[in-house]
A and B are shown apart, each in its own frame.
Chain A
Amino acid sequence: MASRVDEPHDDLIHVTPNPVIEPGHTAASVTDKISALVLKRKTPLAWYIGFFISFSLANVLMFTIAYLVTTGIGIWGNNWPVGWAFDIINFVWWIGIGHAGTLISAILLLLRQEWRTSINRFAEAMTLFAVACAGLFPLLHTGRPWLAYWMLPYPNTMNIYPQFRSPLMWDVFAVSTYASVSALFWYVGLIPDFATLRDRAKNRAFKVVYGMLALGWRGSARHWHRYETAYLLLAGLATPLVLSVHTIVSFDFAVSQLPGWHATIFPPYFVAGAIYAGFAMVLLLTIPLRKFYGLEDFITLRHLRNSAKIMLATGLIVGYGYMMEAFMAWYSASEYEGFMLKNRIWTGPYWWAYALLLITNIIIPQILWSKRARHNTAILFIVSLIISVGMWLERFVIIVTSLHRDFLPSSWAMYRPTIFDWSMFIGTIGLFFTLLLLFIRFLPAISIFEMRTILPGAAPKEEG
């Protein structure tokens, strides 16, 4: 990161036709504009409407959980042999969405992609809330969530320990490490901005709360140096972490013997799918955000265009994954693999899910090859929504169609989600948006100090 301030950014801002930040901004105007979102600006009516809807849905989640915990997971449609259904589909879907946040904040930082600066804070918040929603599903799927701590290895009077050879245990460690590191990474990024809010706030309560959160940050040159070192090291650590998390999530399936799950393509294909879904969610969130909060100067068309290109690329990797799954099923000459493929694509009762998956995840996103489409926010928004549905269907196809036809025809069954499966899923969407709207209201949604570093004239001029 040493060169982040040494490089002249003036070219970047004036020469490129689609800048990462519109010209004419200074450190003062960037600070005032972003901190005003939290401190001064009247909360837009759209925020209240959005909050009302999402908070209502979050309450649906609360009631569902209350009923679930008092009754048992029999209220879901899970059966035998489909023992994993919405709980795992939604877990994988949410955690995948979270991965784009880490990609933007860590991987793009290491790759010196400066356009990431105005969306990384927001994307990290998205990661955190998506992981929170994801974590609810396996936790509640245990049936007795108050005993979830049994998954942790600690000396106990029952004299038993978890089984470390199981991918499900790997998942416990991967997801909890990911949640902890993401939360800390996010908080560390916020510290200098908390200091800015502390110094700008007029309201006494805000001043005290932001002051405490800023930990007494004063922008000392020595502090900044350590801060930048820590931030860069964290980015270097978060990069393999995010890849490992979805790899381990895919091991939950790939390590088993079930046709449709037992495939070596799973780790890379799951990681690409996660980034695909995550960028779709980033666009779904930033397009309305920049519109309602007037942030077109900071989140420019260049951000949307680059996100669209990443979606196109990762979408093609996902398409390759589908092809390889089918190819390996045929090439393996295994009777069971071959049956799984035929059943999944055309003879089985869930053929429509696979067909919808191909349409939403592979065919429609090809519109992003067109430059006109990449520059049209309405099209980007709709395509992102379609991809989000598509990635959900992908997990549905992988989990349900693989499970519902077991090796023994006598155990074949159908899976139908109940109203509580749906209310729980929709409830987590409500929870996600509730947290996100509170974040936009009370915390700077764009990293203020990082925006200052990419302004023209941010680097000291060296004489001689």
Chain B
Amino acid sequence: MRKPTRPAIYGVMAEFDNPTDVVAATRRAHEEGYRNMDAYSPYPIEALSEAVGHHKERLPLIVLIGGIVGLIGGYALQYYVSVINYPLNVGGKPLHSWPAFIPITFETTVLGAAMAAIFGMLALNGLPEPYHPVFNVPNFALASRDRFFLVIEARDPKFDREATTGFLRSLGAQEVADVEH
């Protein structure tokens, strides 16, 4: 960790009790020029992820690659076994009897894509991540119930402990708290 430059706190957290306010507040913070921020909600809100500046999604590409790897891998396995390594005459069929290889190829394609979707999602999200500073705020336990939070991180160039706290208060937050490391 870059010890000397590390800010005193992780950031400032504002609490909201409805989705409309948190989306509006996040948009205002983005307009204000804040970039290193994240919002937290008890269920997915499409507008919120856009408001924090999350636009490009790499996951579909990862899933496509996973599917292609599964497809080629599954077919290559059957081809290698049936034609090269262990050629076996079954009912006079050609060794490379491709129609019979399709069902397994289909299954390995789905398997590859599904694994890529799940593990890709976890990896991009940086999970598992047992410790995160936001959990230090006692009220944050409600993020998994019915509260919405906006955190502006201290590493944002525009961050100023006093000014940012004041700014968040002006957005109609229920409560604004410091997030310790």
Contact = CB atoms under 8 A, between A and B. Distances in A.
A244 B41 contact: no
A460 interface: yes
B180 interface: no
Contacts of A28: 145-146
Contacts of A459: 19, 45
Contacts of A169: 104
A458 interface: yes
B144 interface: yes
Given A165-B100, A199-B144, A234-B114, A218 B49 contact: no
Interface in B40-71: 40-49, 51-52, 54, 57, 59-60, 63
A160 interface: yes
Contact of A164 (B82, B106, B117, B134): B82
Contact of B143 (A165, A177, A185, A218): A218
B49 A225 contact: yes
Of A184, A221, A240, most buried by chain B (CB within 10 Å of CB) is: A221
Contacts of A180: 111, 114-115
Given A26-B146, A161-B81, A164-B81, A221 B107 contact: no
A244 B102 CA distance: 11
Interface in A332-367: none
A219 B107 contact: no
Q: Would you call the interface of chain B mostly helix, strand, loop, or mixed?
A: helix
A26 B106 CA distance: 43
Interface string A117-156: 0000000000000000000000000000000000001000
Of B18, B39, B78, B107, most buried by chain A (CB within 10 Å of CB) is: B107
Interface size class of A (residues with CB under 8 A): 35 or more
B44 A216 contact: no
A2 interface: yes
Contacts of B82: 161, 164-165
B146 A223 contact: no
Contacts of B110: 177, 181, 237, 240-241, 244
Interface stretch (B2-10, B120-128, B165-173): B120-128
A196 B143 CA distance: 8
B134 to A, nearest CB: 6
B103 A173 contact: yes
Interface in A195-236: 195-196, 198-200, 211-212, 215-230, 233-234
A416 B54 CA distance: 64
B117 A251 contact: no
B100 A230 contact: no
Interface stretch (A279-287, A290-298, A373-381, A447-455): A447-455
Interface in A233-250: 233-234, 237-238, 240-241, 244, 248
Contacts of A230: 59, 63, 117-118, 120-121
Nearest to B39: A221
Given A227-B125, A229-B60, A177 B107 contact: yes
A162 B132 CA distance: 48
B157 interface: no
A216 to B, nearest CB: 4
Of A4, A27, A167, A195, most buried by chain B (CB within 10 Å of CB) is: A27
Nearest to B19: A460
A200 B90 CA distance: 60
B45 A460 contact: yes
Contact of A452 (B42, B47, B59): B42
Contact of A6 (B41, B46, B52, B114): B46
B36 to A, nearest CB: 12
A224 B118 contact: no
Interface in B148-179: none
A215 B129 CA distance: 6
B54 to A, nearest CB: 5
Contact of A244 (B78, B106, B113, B120): B106
B21 to A, nearest CB: 8
Interface in B61-111: 63, 77-78, 81-82, 85-86, 88, 90, 93, 97, 100-101, 103-104, 106-108, 110-111
B41 A31 contact: no
21 contacts: A1-B44, A2-B46, A5-B44, A32-B145, A153-B81, A160-B86, A164-B104, A165-B90, A173-B107, A181-B110, A185-B114, A211-B130, A212-B130, A216-B129, A218-B132, A221-B52, A224-B41, A226-B59, A237-B110, A457-B18, A459-B19
Q: 6 closest pairs, A vs B, by CB?
A: A230-B121, A27-B146, A215-B128, A225-B49, A216-B129, A224-B44
